[in-house]
Amino acid sequence: MTGIPAIASARGLTKRFGRKNVLRGIDFTIPAGRIYGLVGQNGAGKTTTLNALLGLTDYGGQIEVLGHDPFRNRAKLMNQVAFISDVASLPRFLKVRELFDLVSDIQPRFDREKANVFLQGTDLKPDLKIKTLSKGMIAQLHLAVVMAIDAKLLVLDEPTLGLDIIYRKRFYRRLLEDYMTEERTLLITTHQVDEIEFMLTDIMFLHDGAIILDTPVEDIGLLYAQLIVGKDKLVEAEKLAPIYAETRLDQTMMVFENVPSEKLEPLGQVSTPSLSDLFVTLMQRQNATPGEA
Protein backbone atom coordinates (compact mmCIF):
# COMPACT_ATOMS: atom_id res chain seq x y z
CA MET A 1 0.00 0.00 0.00
CA THR A 2 3.06 2.27 -0.12
CA GLY A 3 2.25 5.60 -1.78
CA ILE A 4 -1.52 5.25 -1.40
CA PRO A 5 -2.91 8.01 0.86
CA ALA A 6 -4.80 6.98 3.98
CA ILE A 7 -8.49 7.78 4.26
CA ALA A 8 -8.58 6.84 7.94
CA SER A 9 -6.05 5.80 10.56
CA ALA A 10 -6.05 4.95 14.26
CA ARG A 11 -3.22 4.64 16.73
CA GLY A 12 -3.72 3.23 20.20
CA LEU A 13 -7.51 3.47 19.87
CA THR A 14 -9.23 2.64 23.16
CA LYS A 15 -12.77 2.85 24.48
CA ARG A 16 -14.24 1.87 27.83
CA PHE A 17 -17.85 1.49 28.89
CA GLY A 18 -17.73 1.31 32.68
CA ARG A 19 -15.23 -1.38 33.58
CA LYS A 20 -15.28 -3.03 30.17
CA ASN A 21 -12.52 -2.36 27.63
CA VAL A 22 -14.43 -2.37 24.35
CA LEU A 23 -11.39 -1.35 22.28
CA ARG A 24 -7.95 -2.22 23.59
CA GLY A 25 -5.37 -0.03 21.88
CA ILE A 26 -5.91 -0.96 18.23
CA ASP A 27 -3.93 0.42 15.27
CA PHE A 28 -5.01 0.39 11.63
CA THR A 29 -4.73 2.35 8.39
CA ILE A 30 -7.37 2.34 5.64
CA PRO A 31 -6.00 3.47 2.26
CA ALA A 32 -8.06 5.35 -0.30
CA GLY A 33 -9.93 3.45 -2.98
CA ARG A 34 -10.32 0.23 -0.98
CA ILE A 35 -13.30 -1.84 0.18
CA TYR A 36 -12.65 -2.83 3.79
CA GLY A 37 -14.61 -5.49 5.62
CA LEU A 38 -14.69 -5.18 9.42
CA VAL A 39 -15.82 -8.49 10.89
CA GLY A 40 -16.29 -9.69 14.44
CA GLN A 41 -18.71 -11.40 16.76
CA ASN A 42 -21.28 -9.43 18.76
CA GLY A 43 -19.45 -7.30 21.30
CA ALA A 44 -16.12 -7.43 19.47
CA GLY A 45 -16.04 -3.64 19.04
CA LYS A 46 -17.08 -3.19 15.39
CA THR A 47 -19.78 -0.56 15.89
CA THR A 48 -17.73 1.24 18.54
CA THR A 49 -14.85 1.49 16.06
CA LEU A 50 -17.17 2.95 13.43
CA ASN A 51 -18.68 5.40 15.93
CA ALA A 52 -15.20 6.60 16.86
CA LEU A 53 -14.27 7.07 13.19
CA LEU A 54 -17.48 9.05 12.62
CA GLY A 55 -17.07 11.24 15.69
CA LEU A 56 -20.13 9.78 17.37
CA THR A 57 -18.27 8.85 20.56
CA ASP A 58 -15.19 9.98 22.44
CA TYR A 59 -12.18 7.68 22.66
CA GLY A 60 -8.61 7.31 23.80
CA GLY A 61 -5.71 7.34 21.37
CA GLN A 62 -5.56 9.11 18.03
CA ILE A 63 -7.82 8.97 14.97
CA GLU A 64 -7.62 10.87 11.71
CA VAL A 65 -10.29 10.60 9.02
CA LEU A 66 -9.87 12.57 5.79
CA GLY A 67 -7.43 14.82 7.61
CA HIS A 68 -9.76 15.54 10.54
CA ASP A 69 -10.03 14.57 14.18
CA PRO A 70 -13.55 13.12 13.88
CA PHE A 71 -14.72 13.98 17.40
CA ARG A 72 -13.57 17.60 17.25
CA ASN A 73 -14.40 18.30 13.59
CA ARG A 74 -17.41 16.11 12.92
CA ALA A 75 -19.36 18.77 10.98
CA LYS A 76 -16.54 19.23 8.46
CA LEU A 77 -15.91 15.50 8.27
CA MET A 78 -19.52 14.58 7.48
CA ASN A 79 -19.43 16.77 4.36
CA GLN A 80 -17.25 14.03 2.86
CA VAL A 81 -18.69 10.94 4.54
CA ALA A 82 -21.92 8.96 4.03
CA PHE A 83 -23.17 6.49 6.64
CA ILE A 84 -25.76 3.73 6.80
CA SER A 85 -26.25 2.33 10.29
CA ASP A 86 -28.94 -0.16 9.28
CA VAL A 87 -31.94 -0.26 6.97
CA ALA A 88 -34.33 0.78 9.77
CA SER A 89 -32.66 4.12 10.51
CA LEU A 90 -34.60 6.30 8.06
CA PRO A 91 -37.27 8.61 9.59
CA ARG A 92 -40.39 6.54 9.02
CA PHE A 93 -42.85 9.43 9.34
CA LEU A 94 -41.53 11.11 6.17
CA LYS A 95 -42.51 10.58 2.56
CA VAL A 96 -39.83 9.69 0.03
CA ARG A 97 -39.74 13.22 -1.42
CA GLU A 98 -39.63 14.70 2.08
CA LEU A 99 -36.63 12.53 2.87
CA PHE A 100 -34.89 13.92 -0.21
CA ASP A 101 -35.78 17.45 0.98
CA LEU A 102 -34.22 16.71 4.37
CA VAL A 103 -31.04 15.22 2.94
CA SER A 104 -30.71 18.17 0.52
CA ASP A 105 -30.84 20.58 3.46
CA ILE A 106 -28.20 18.82 5.57
CA GLN A 107 -25.84 17.31 2.98
CA PRO A 108 -24.46 19.73 0.35
CA ARG A 109 -23.03 16.88 -1.70
CA PHE A 110 -26.43 15.20 -2.19
CA ASP A 111 -27.61 15.11 -5.83
CA ARG A 112 -31.40 14.81 -5.79
CA GLU A 113 -31.63 14.18 -9.51
CA LYS A 114 -29.19 11.32 -9.24
CA ALA A 115 -31.19 9.82 -6.35
CA ASN A 116 -34.34 9.87 -8.48
CA VAL A 117 -32.47 8.14 -11.30
CA PHE A 118 -31.43 5.37 -8.90
CA LEU A 119 -35.11 4.83 -8.00
CA GLN A 120 -36.21 4.42 -11.62
CA GLY A 121 -37.46 0.91 -12.25
CA THR A 122 -38.41 0.38 -8.61
CA ASP A 123 -41.82 0.58 -6.91
CA LEU A 124 -40.71 3.60 -4.86
CA LYS A 125 -42.77 6.71 -5.59
CA PRO A 126 -42.23 10.25 -4.22
CA ASP A 127 -45.44 10.36 -2.16
CA LEU A 128 -45.02 6.98 -0.46
CA LYS A 129 -44.47 7.13 3.29
CA ILE A 130 -41.38 5.34 4.52
CA LYS A 131 -43.38 3.56 7.23
CA THR A 132 -45.41 1.78 4.52
CA LEU A 133 -42.35 0.38 2.74
CA SER A 134 -41.08 -3.16 3.03
CA LYS A 135 -37.57 -3.79 4.36
CA GLY A 136 -36.36 -4.42 0.83
CA MET A 137 -37.84 -1.14 -0.44
CA ILE A 138 -36.28 0.75 2.49
CA ALA A 139 -32.92 -0.77 1.58
CA GLN A 140 -33.39 0.42 -2.00
CA LEU A 141 -34.27 3.91 -0.79
CA HIS A 142 -31.36 4.06 1.62
CA LEU A 143 -28.96 2.94 -1.07
CA ALA A 144 -30.31 5.53 -3.52
CA VAL A 145 -29.70 8.27 -0.95
CA VAL A 146 -26.10 7.33 -0.19
CA MET A 147 -25.20 6.67 -3.83
CA ALA A 148 -26.41 10.20 -4.64
CA ILE A 149 -23.97 11.70 -2.11
CA ASP A 150 -20.54 12.51 -3.54
CA ALA A 151 -18.69 11.17 -0.50
CA LYS A 152 -15.08 10.05 -0.28
CA LEU A 153 -15.88 7.54 2.47
CA LEU A 154 -18.99 5.39 2.79
CA VAL A 155 -19.45 3.59 6.10
CA LEU A 156 -21.94 0.71 6.28
CA ASP A 157 -22.78 -0.87 9.64
CA GLU A 158 -24.75 -4.08 9.05
CA PRO A 159 -26.58 -2.36 6.14
CA THR A 160 -28.64 -5.41 5.09
CA LEU A 161 -29.66 -6.59 8.56
CA GLY A 162 -33.04 -8.33 8.38
CA LEU A 163 -33.17 -8.54 4.58
CA ASP A 164 -33.57 -11.78 2.68
CA ILE A 165 -30.67 -13.09 0.61
CA ILE A 166 -32.00 -11.75 -2.71
CA TYR A 167 -32.15 -8.17 -1.45
CA ARG A 168 -28.77 -8.52 0.27
CA LYS A 169 -27.02 -9.64 -2.90
CA ARG A 170 -28.80 -6.97 -4.96
CA PHE A 171 -27.81 -4.28 -2.44
CA TYR A 172 -24.10 -5.09 -2.55
CA ARG A 173 -23.89 -5.64 -6.29
CA ARG A 174 -25.57 -2.31 -7.02
CA LEU A 175 -23.28 -0.60 -4.56
CA LEU A 176 -20.24 -2.07 -6.28
CA GLU A 177 -21.39 -1.48 -9.85
CA ASP A 178 -23.03 1.96 -9.54
CA TYR A 179 -21.15 3.67 -6.71
CA MET A 180 -17.62 2.43 -6.13
CA THR A 181 -14.77 4.28 -7.87
CA GLU A 182 -11.03 4.57 -7.36
CA GLU A 183 -11.60 7.81 -5.44
CA ARG A 184 -14.07 6.30 -2.97
CA THR A 185 -13.52 4.06 0.02
CA LEU A 186 -16.04 1.67 1.58
CA LEU A 187 -15.90 0.40 5.15
CA ILE A 188 -18.43 -2.36 5.87
CA THR A 189 -19.30 -4.33 8.99
CA THR A 190 -21.39 -7.44 8.56
CA HIS A 191 -22.07 -10.89 9.97
CA GLN A 192 -22.51 -12.30 6.45
CA VAL A 193 -18.88 -12.08 5.39
CA ASP A 194 -19.32 -14.79 2.75
CA GLU A 195 -21.80 -12.54 0.88
CA ILE A 196 -19.38 -9.63 0.52
CA GLU A 197 -16.16 -11.59 0.02
CA PHE A 198 -16.41 -11.12 -3.74
CA MET A 199 -16.14 -7.32 -3.39
CA LEU A 200 -13.65 -6.86 -0.55
CA THR A 201 -10.10 -5.71 -1.12
CA ASP A 202 -9.14 -5.86 2.56
CA ILE A 203 -10.34 -7.65 5.69
CA MET A 204 -10.03 -6.85 9.38
CA PHE A 205 -11.10 -9.30 12.10
CA LEU A 206 -11.87 -7.98 15.58
CA HIS A 207 -11.99 -10.16 18.69
CA ASP A 208 -12.72 -8.78 22.15
CA GLY A 209 -11.62 -5.27 21.23
CA ALA A 210 -8.37 -6.31 19.51
CA ILE A 211 -7.42 -6.77 15.85
CA ILE A 212 -6.39 -10.35 15.11
CA LEU A 213 -6.13 -9.98 11.33
CA ASP A 214 -5.72 -6.94 9.07
CA THR A 215 -4.62 -7.76 5.55
CA PRO A 216 -5.44 -7.35 1.85
CA VAL A 217 -7.69 -10.21 0.76
CA GLU A 218 -5.24 -11.06 -2.01
CA ASP A 219 -2.57 -11.83 0.61
CA ILE A 220 -4.60 -14.37 2.57
CA GLY A 221 -3.31 -17.18 0.39
CA LEU A 222 0.25 -16.20 1.34
CA LEU A 223 -0.55 -16.52 5.04
CA TYR A 224 -3.08 -19.33 5.30
CA ALA A 225 -3.83 -22.60 3.50
CA GLN A 226 -6.73 -25.01 3.74
CA LEU A 227 -6.09 -28.74 3.34
CA ILE A 228 -8.64 -31.49 2.76
CA VAL A 229 -6.92 -34.66 3.94
CA GLY A 230 -8.04 -38.30 4.07
CA LYS A 231 -7.53 -40.73 6.94
CA ASP A 232 -4.42 -42.21 5.35
CA LYS A 233 -2.53 -38.90 5.54
CA LEU A 234 -4.10 -37.52 8.73
CA VAL A 235 -1.25 -38.27 11.14
CA GLU A 236 1.30 -36.80 8.74
CA ALA A 237 -0.79 -33.64 8.33
CA GLU A 238 -1.21 -33.22 12.10
CA LYS A 239 2.59 -33.10 12.47
CA LEU A 240 2.53 -29.79 10.55
CA ALA A 241 0.51 -28.19 13.41
CA PRO A 242 -2.79 -27.04 11.88
CA ILE A 243 -4.41 -24.12 13.68
CA TYR A 244 -7.87 -25.58 13.04
CA ALA A 245 -9.27 -28.97 12.10
CA GLU A 246 -12.79 -30.22 11.45
CA THR A 247 -13.74 -33.74 10.39
CA ARG A 248 -16.34 -34.03 7.65
CA LEU A 249 -17.44 -37.60 6.93
CA ASP A 250 -14.23 -39.52 6.10
CA GLN A 251 -12.14 -36.40 5.44
CA THR A 252 -10.68 -33.68 7.64
CA MET A 253 -10.48 -30.00 6.78
CA MET A 254 -7.41 -28.29 8.26
CA VAL A 255 -6.22 -24.69 8.19
CA PHE A 256 -2.51 -23.91 8.41
CA GLU A 257 -0.68 -20.66 9.05
CA ASN A 258 2.67 -19.93 7.38
CA VAL A 259 3.13 -23.51 6.16
CA PRO A 260 4.49 -23.68 2.57
CA SER A 261 2.06 -25.21 0.10
CA GLU A 262 4.71 -27.63 -1.16
CA LYS A 263 4.59 -29.35 2.23
CA LEU A 264 0.81 -29.67 2.09
CA GLU A 265 0.22 -30.65 -1.54
CA PRO A 266 1.40 -34.28 -1.15
CA LEU A 267 -1.16 -34.74 1.66
CA GLY A 268 -4.38 -33.75 -0.08
CA GLN A 269 -6.31 -30.95 -1.74
CA VAL A 270 -4.88 -27.50 -0.95
CA SER A 271 -6.74 -24.19 -1.37
CA THR A 272 -7.07 -20.74 0.16
CA PRO A 273 -9.66 -20.72 2.96
CA SER A 274 -12.77 -18.61 2.45
CA LEU A 275 -13.12 -15.57 4.68
CA SER A 276 -15.91 -17.23 6.64
CA ASP A 277 -13.81 -20.38 7.25
CA LEU A 278 -10.82 -18.26 8.20
CA PHE A 279 -12.95 -16.21 10.58
CA VAL A 280 -14.20 -19.36 12.32
CA THR A 281 -10.62 -20.66 12.50
CA LEU A 282 -9.20 -17.54 14.11
CA MET A 283 -12.13 -17.14 16.49
CA GLN A 284 -11.70 -20.73 17.65
CA ARG A 285 -8.00 -20.14 18.22
CA GLN A 286 -8.65 -16.96 20.21
CA ASN A 287 -11.32 -18.64 22.33
CA ALA A 288 -8.92 -21.50 23.04
CA THR A 289 -6.21 -19.10 24.22
CA PRO A 290 -7.99 -16.43 26.32
CA GLY A 291 -6.01 -13.34 27.14
CA GLU A 292 -3.84 -13.52 24.02
CA ALA A 293 -6.09 -11.52 21.71
The pLDDT of residue 236 is 96
pLDDT digit string, tens, across residues 40-57: 988 899 999 999 999 999
**pTM for this predicted structure:** 0.88
Burial (CB count within 10 angstroms: exposed 0-12, middle 13-18, buried 19+), residue 254: buried
Set out the domains of the chain in order of their start, with CATH numbers. Answer: 6-208 (3.40.50.300), 220-288 (3.30.70)
The pLDDT of residue 34 is 94
Amino acid at 157: D
At 144, phi and psi to the nearest 5? -60, -40
Average pLDDT on 93-119 reads 92
Average pLDDT on 77-89 reads 79
pLDDT digit string, tens, across residues 242-261: 999 999 888 999 999 999 99
State yes or no: pLDDT of 24 exceeds 90. Answer: yes
State yes or no: pLDDT of 186 exceeds 60. Answer: yes
At 60, phi and psi to the nearest 5? -100, 160
The pLDDT of residue 4 is 63
pLDDT digit string, tens, across residues 148-162: 999 999 999 888 877
Alpha carbons within 13 angstroms on the beta-carbon side of residue 220 total 24
**How large a percentage of the chain has pLDDT more than 90?**
64
The pLDDT of residue 292 is 45
- Return all residues near 117 (Cβ < 8 A) that are at least 6 apart: none
CA atoms 140, 145, 148, 150: torsion sign: negative
The pLDDT of residue 12 is 97
CB count in 10 Å sphere of residue 203: 23
pLDDT digit string, tens, across residues 272-288: 999 999 999 999 888 77
